[in-house]
Chains A and B, each alone.
Chain A
Amino acid sequence: MKWVPTLRKEREGWGTRPSSSGQSTNQPLDTPKPPPVAPDTSTVKTYALEFPNLTKCTQLFFGPNFKFTYNNLPNIDGTSREINSPSYDRGSGYGQTDPKFVPDHGRATIFIDKHFWENYAAHYGASDPLVVTTYLHEAANARAIQQFTQYTRGTRAITGPLGRVPSYAQNHDYSRDNDIGQQFGECLTTPNWTYK
């Protein structure tokens, strides 16, 4: 079943492409449409905080003392990196967590592929589940780097929930992404998910 955010019900037009003038989008057919605009990062965060199972999965992965809020969710950089660059086509994803941009405390910055952000996210909007889950995937990686300080920095994002040693299934995840963000994303999107 496709996830429908509650905000969409409350605010008509939320998550759809707004008109440049902010007025009705019922334009005559012969009027060229303005190009889609990349979503506002704060809107993506708003939808991220509304994502089903977020509270439950956050507790499972980061313990009862932490919850994602608007103030601690990472910033989004969707314009500076071509993650799916033609010069580097080996395993291109939509998002990236660069530990250099994750401070020990405070707000991190995660990267979203420039083309994905400026095309897909612009077209489908901030409420699109792929946009939101990609963001939350990287947000979980960034949080793990800040929280699981018992490991070296480079190791923290590939631990299991609560910083435990990852299971064999996680280390050999058949989706081919064995980081905590992948497990977190599976928790968010899979009914009755359990860590294996």
Chain B
Amino acid sequence: MKKAVRLCLLFGCLAGYSCLDLLYAQNRTPKNAEVRILVKSVEMISQNEAHVKLTLINESTRTIFFTVNPFDVNMPEPLYLEQMRQKEGWTLFGPCVDNPPAAISKLKPGKTIGIDDRIGVPTISNCQVKPQNLLDSFRYSLEYFESYEDVRAYMRNFFPSSNPKRPHPRIVYSESFSIPGGWPRSR
């Protein structure tokens, strides 16, 4: 009898641990984990500017499509940047897209591309929300599609933003990262 109780307890504990582990994993893993943005390196290049190297990985079984800068096809556009703020949570501050994206790139299954980006403050852009410092955590997000037709329709119907013909993209978030020696050095 005691052995049966012990076995039950053991299995119960194992099942509970598995459930907790699963929950934890679900919280940490983005919903669309098949496409990922990894942060390779973050380096301050001046007092108020950081250079970030990213890798976009397609671990899904389908080719993905996204919009890019036609002069630099390794630069997804728009590549959104968010900052974790104490009150507001993740706050997107750019880019403020005032021109529709102009070119399309694709990434086949199992392929990766390297992305170079720069983050700086203070900005003088026409964005309504601006980063105030480089101290808090950041993350990138990228909109992508699983069909060429959808990304074409997205570009054609980019403005106005409320256009019902504009297909909804999937969104992949990078892991969050902080900038070592971020500006200003002390609050």
Could you list which residues of chain A lie within 8 angstroms of chain B, going by C-beta atoms? 81-85, 87-100, 111, 113, 116, 133-134, 137-138, 141, 152, 154-155, 157-159, 165-166, 171-179, 181-182, 185-186, 189
Contact = CB atoms under 8 A, between A and B. Distances in A.
B95 A94 contact: no
A181 B71 CA distance: 17
Interface in B92-121: 92-103, 116-120
A154 B71 CA distance: 12
Contacts of A158: 69-71, 99, 102
Q: Is the interface of A mostly helix, strand, loop or mixed?
A: loop
Interface residues of B, number: 39
A83 B162 CA distance: 9
Interface of B: 49, 69-72, 75, 77-78, 80-81, 92-103, 116-120, 123-129, 155, 159-162
Q: Is the interface of B mostly helix, strand, loop or mixed?
A: loop
Contacts of B70: 152, 154-155, 158
Contact of A179 (B49, B94, B99, B161): B99
Given A91-B96, A185-B126, 8 more contacts: A83-B161, A90-B80, A91-B92, A95-B126, A96-B159, A154-B101, A172-B117, A177-B95
B116 A182 contact: no
A91 B123 CA distance: 14
A66 to B, nearest CB: 20
A176 B96 contact: yes
Contacts of A181: 98
Contacts of B92: 89-91
Given A88-B162, A158-B69, A93 B126 contact: yes
A176 B128 contact: no
A96 B159 CA distance: 9
B98 to A, nearest CB: 5
Contacts of A177: 94-96, 98, 125-127
B72 A171 contact: yes
Nearest to A110: B98
Contacts of A182: 125-126
Contact of A93 (B71, B98, B119): B98
A157 B103 CA distance: 13
B105 to A, nearest CB: 14
B102 A91 contact: no
